[in-house]
Amino acid sequence: MALTNNKNVLAWVDEMVALTKPDKVVWIDGSKEQLDALTSEVTTLPDGDPNKMYYLNDEKLPGCLYHRTLPNDVARVEDRTFICTSTKEAAGPTNNWMAPDEMKAMLTPLYDGVMKGRTMYVIPYSMGPIGSPLAKVGVELTDSIYVVLNMNIMTRMGAAAFENLGDTSDDFVRGLHSKADVDPEKRYIVHFPEENTIWSINSAYGGNVLLGKKCFALRIASFQGKNEGWMAEHMLILGVQKPDGETKYITAAFPSACGKTNLAMLIPPEGYQKDGYKVFTVGDDIAWMKPGKDGRLYAINPENGFFGVAPGTNEKSNPNALACTRKNTIFTNVAMNNEDNTVWWEKLDKNPPVDATEWKGAKVNGPEYIAEGGNLAHPNSRFTAPAENCPCISPEFNNPEGVPISAIIFGGRRASTTPLVYQSFDWTHGTYIGSAVSSETTAAATGAVGVLRHDPMAMKPFIGYNVGDYWAHWLEMGEKLGDKAPKIFNVNWFKQDEEGNFIWPGFGDNMRVLDWIIKRCEGTVDAEETAIGYLPKKGDINIEGIEDEVTPEIMDKLLAVDKDLWTKEIAEMRRYYNDDIAAKGGNIPAALYAELDKIEAKLNK
Ligand code: GTP
Ligand code: SPV
Ligand code: MN
């Protein structure tokens, strides 16, 4: 039964039913009975069925499910992701583009009758707390129960999402997904920002199919934010409660698989805990931000769960993330530990199961398989965990007004050049720093791993319009916020020595850098002015307890601004602006070129 009287929703669902021709249409109300029945349907499928899901150990992992996607379908596919605006210029140089009509003409035959013999699930969901002035409604149509079960964790899913839509509003995002034959040659992730519409076909994996996430909450929402005066960013949101009881909120944009979930759930080092510091998680991947009544920038996390990278998550690196995954969680492409029907992934612990099933589904001897160079879990294997499981979830998580942001951090994986932390001179310079984010690539998207690539604001794969206009929007937001704008910083947890070892301990110890950042926001610590920004003065990063690891020599390396490397960096930025952006239809704001000139002049002085 339809869960809404909204005539636009009903008309669109009818149209998509006529196109895809499912045997049955089921509206997802979000009730436990309905979800239990769907879970029972996928868990009783025969082994080898691509839709199969498995229950895990009911004592150790109650309510948890395991799933494996096809080996050709394990990450976002950026080369098959399109922004279909009416002009190519509107999509800009960082997006694949095709005219909307042409794209629809190409995809319509693929969708025609694709759900014959299948059920279409109609998923109403809210991105953001229901009723929040910052929240938005989406509807996803899908032929995948795996998608329904994941959307249930990642969004506020079900009838309640329609509550504030009314009968005539057109302000909802239309997402059409079919896994079709999961044919990588016919896989398309397509956005029509001018129509609030997403079409995804031939994938059954993560960011390609959970359409509320990257497709809506970043690509479509960034376009909406530009038009409506707010920002949709690839940022975690955390709160640091200080000994005096005040909580400062910080957002941070790092490219995929560069540490957002880890920073969002950070556990402060012992010394900080003793002093009374606490960290609270508001979000780990996406922030929607808008100026509030007091003129400050407020952020909500539009999501309701964490779709986190599993490998590397352990009791030491991120105990909070691990705790999130101990119940009601879906694991995708990790390894099965057949000894007790639990899961395993690289670096979970030092004991890979002897009786294991690796992520592609082959039974193997875990230790032997690893010794031969195999990965038991796929490097981009993930957990889908409810936010409410998080031991450090912020009391403000459901606050419809969001939290006020004091600092915005950019960062990426940089083996050299970029220091541990520095602060921008002002918002415009901070926008430049965001535009200059680059990072060594990871397994979160298909393609080579470890190659340095520009990833402005960690949003390269997610800006739903022209990157030049996106930078202009950042500058406009800065003007609007004026002296109430958050301070902007850059961090790098990934600096390496000659042997390729990380020289900063990272994880919980990143608190030491947050501490400096907060003090800079409060104006209680001085800084060294350099050509690239304000750096910590010697001794101002607290290394109490890690003096053995972070010797004065290492700290010097971490905070070095090497003139030759930075001259190269600036030259590369000029090339990037000119050749990759301006020459390809990106309108770079003059203020950003001016920042480049200023840094260059300072370096040459
Ligand atoms: P997406 O969900 O893809 O957007 O990724 P993310 O940015 O949330 O990254 P996540 O926190 O899941 O971390 C990805 C990888 O980086 C994991 O293997 C972590 O162990 C590693 N990592 C995270 N923080 C640090 C750090 O401070 N230092 C080092 N060396 N590695 C880190
Ligand atoms: C990312 O790649 O940045 C992710 C995972 O958060 S996905 O949802 O697949 O985009
Ligand atoms: Mn992400």
Q: pLDDT tens digits for 175-199?
A: 999 999 999 999 999 999 999 999 9
Average of pLDDT values for 71-89?
98
- Is pLDDT of 1 > 90? no
Average of pLDDT values for 47-57?
96
Residue with structure tokens 């082959």?
362
Q: Is 214 in the pocket of ligand 2 (CB under 6 A)?
A: yes
**For residues 566, 571, 576 and 581, what is the CA-based torsion angle, rounded to 10 degrees?**
120
Percent pLDDT > 70 in the chain is: 100
Catalytic residue IDs: 258
Q: Which atom of ligand 2 is nearest to the CA of 213?
A: 8
Residue with CA closest to ligand 2 atom 4: 256
Average of pLDDT values for 252-264?
97
Q: What local confidence, expressed as pLDDT, does residue 585 receive?
A: 97
| Structural domains in the chain, sorted by start | 7-47+75-229 (3.40.449.10), 233-303+395-599 (3.90.228.20), 306-389 (2.170.8.10)
Ion ligand 3, residue ranges at CB < 5 A? 256, 285
- 450 pLDDT band, cuts 50/70/90, is confident
Q: Which two tokens stand for residue 238?
A: 């955390």
Among the listed ranges 224-238, 435-449, 456-470, which one has the minimum average pLDDT value? 435-449
Q: What local confidence, expressed as pLDDT, does residue 164 receive?
A: 85
Ligand 1: which of 208, 210, 261 to mutate, most ligand atoms within 8 Å of CB? Answer: 261
End-to-end Cα spacing for the chain = 71
Q: Is 256 in the pocket of ligand 2 (CB under 6 A)?
A: yes
On the CB side of 333, how many CA atoms lie within 13 Å of its CA? 23
Q: Which atom of ligand 2 is nearest to the CA of 75?
A: 9
Write the pLDDT tens digit of every residue in 484-518.
999 999 999 999 999 999 999 999 999 999 999 99
Q: Is 284 in the pocket of ligand 1 (CB under 6 A)?
A: yes
Closest C-alpha among 434, 584, 579 to residue 91: 584
- In one-letter notation, the amino acid at residue 250 is I
Q: Is 285 in the pocket of ligand 2 (CB under 6 A)?
A: yes
Q: What local confidence, expressed as pLDDT, does residue 536 receive?
A: 98
- Is pLDDT of 221 > 90? yes
As a whole number of angstroms, the distance between CA 300 and CA 127 comes to 10
Q: Is 285 in the pocket of ligand 1 (CB under 6 A)?
A: yes
Residue with CA closest to ligand 1 atom 12: 309
Task: Report which bound ligand comes closest to the CA of 189.
Answer: 2
